[in-house]
């Protein structure tokens, strides 16, 4: 019908460096409260739908709080209650929920579920974590880094652990914003090959750095980042991973290899005594609660951009 379809935010492939910087700028403005004179919450009367097939604290609450701060309200649905692809087809689900809400945040397993939703939804679809990406986390973390080091270009971020959803999104966010990013993981826990290939195609000049020694990655870094060793959906591998990942625990000795002013980051939830010691997580270098706070401000900027200029007519295209 000639009208552009909705924007989606499934991973960081859909945004360029200018958009990434603009979203961070906007998030910082919203956080500081120094918005334009006369600014009023732009999403009055709008609704955000959330469908979560995995547990969550930060993502659910920060999305709902972000949307409320923009003037809207939200409707949370447990995955099992709606049964996308089980109770009815993903396409039918997407076309129906588009009639009621103005954006949809989805936490799921297969990334293809998000792609299918985006194909049929008349509203923006936002990835609230999939097996392949956690883009809101990664962008919020770039905001945290920028608060610590105003010039992101050239700062070194070392991710110590699994080549998982968070690591993949951080690698993309880092490439967009000129952050020097390295993954240190056990052999066999690197990024999936499809990610490596897509990254190389998109960022031919950015080496996707992977090492198998935590110390090598931490050396001289400005920030050391950890995440759980067994992600949601991998609980059955937790025992095996605990052994394999043991040399990749972030402790004070590892932090001492980083720069003297280096910080520790973790998307949370954390397992003290596994991927990080309590000495580091609860110590002076930890910025993990600043990261959690920044989820809300990044998502305010994101939702404002995705939803604000869409009309009811766009939404009701079926
Ligand atoms: N970091 C993060 O996404 O936390 P939740 O799983 O609690 O949402
Ligand atoms: N990699 C973790 C991140 C949790 C926020 C998971 O997917 O479970």
Q: Residue 317's pLDDT is what?
A: 62
pLDDT in tens, 207-245: 999 999 999 999 999 999 999 999 999 999 999 999 999
Residue having the nearest C-alpha atom to atom 1 of ligand 2: 231
Residue having the nearest C-alpha atom to atom 2 of ligand 2: 231
- Residue 18 confidence (pLDDT) above 70: yes
Alpha helices in the chain (DSSP H): 17-32, 58-69, 79-82, 90-97, 111-120, 135-148, 165-176, 193-202, 214-218, 238-244, 252-257, 278-281, 288-307, 312-315
Mean pLDDT of 3-7: 82
Cite the active site residues. 107, 134, 137, 227, 267, 295
Task: Give yes or no for residue 268 CB within 6 A of ligand 1.
Answer: yes
Q: Residue 234's pLDDT is what?
A: 98
Name the token pair of 138: 């990664």
Q: Residue 286's pLDDT is what?
A: 98
Of all residues in the chain, the percent with pLDDT exceeding 90 is 94
Angle formed at CA 170 by CA 242 and CA 110, multiple of 5 degrees: 70
- Residue 1 confidence (pLDDT) above 60: no
Average pLDDT, the chain: 96
Name the token pair of 224: 């050391």
Higher-scoring residue by pLDDT: 27, 2: 27
pTM: 0.97
Domains of the chain: 12-130+295-315 (3.40.50.1370), 136-286 (3.40.50.1370)
Q: Residue 309's pLDDT is what?
A: 73
Q: 59 alpha carbon to ligand 1 midpoint, in Å? A: 5
pLDDT in tens, 149-208: 999 998 999 999 999 999 999 999 999 999 999 999 999 999 999 999 999 999 999 999
**For residue 268, which atom of ligand 1 is closest to its CA?**
1
- Residue 312 confidence (pLDDT) above 80: no
Mean pLDDT of 73-93: 98
ipTM over 0.95 threshold: yes
Q: Residue 308's pLDDT is what?
A: 85
Residue having the nearest C-alpha atom to atom 6 of ligand 1: 56
């Amino acid at each position: 019908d000639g009208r552009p379809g909705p924007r989606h935010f499934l991973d960081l492939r859909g945004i360029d460096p200018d958009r990434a910087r603009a979203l961070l700028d906007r998030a910082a403005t919203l956080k500081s409260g120094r918005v334009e004179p006369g600014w009023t919450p732009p999403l009055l009367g709008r609704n955000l739908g959330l469908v979560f097939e995995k547990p969550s604290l930060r993502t659910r609450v920060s999305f709902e709080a972000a949307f409320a701060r923009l003037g809207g309200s939200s409707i949370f649905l447990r995955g099992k209650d709606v049964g996308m692809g089980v109770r009815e087809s993903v396409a039918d689900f997407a076309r129906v929920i588009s009639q009621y809400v103005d954006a949809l945040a989805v936490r799921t397993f297969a990334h293809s579920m998000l792609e299918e939703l985006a194909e049929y939804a008349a509203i923006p679809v936002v990835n609230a974590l999939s097996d392949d990406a956690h883009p809101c986390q990664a962008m919020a973390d770039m905001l945290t880094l920028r608060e610590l080091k105003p010039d992101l270009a050239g700062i070194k971020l070392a991710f110590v652990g699994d080549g998982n959803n968070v690591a993949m999104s951080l690698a993309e966010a880092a490439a967009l914003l000129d952050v020097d990013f390295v993954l240190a993981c056990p052999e066999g826990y690197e990024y999936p090959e499809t990610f490596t290939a897509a990254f190389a195609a998109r960022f031919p000049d950015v080496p996707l750095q992977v090492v198998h020694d935590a110390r090598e990655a931490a050396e001289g870094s400005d920030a050391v980042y950890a995440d759980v060793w067994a992600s949601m959906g991998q609980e059955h591998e937790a025992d095996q991973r605990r052994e394999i990942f043991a040399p990749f625990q972030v402790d004070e000795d590892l932090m001492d290899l980083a720069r003297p002013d280096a910080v520790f980051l973790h998307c949370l939830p954390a397992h003290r005594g596994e991927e990080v010691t309590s000495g580091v997580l609860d110590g002076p270098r930890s910025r993990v609660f600043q990261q959690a706070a920044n989820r809300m401000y990044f998502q305010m900027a994101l939702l404002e951009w995705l939803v604000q200029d869409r009309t009811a007519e766009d939404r009701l295209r079926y």
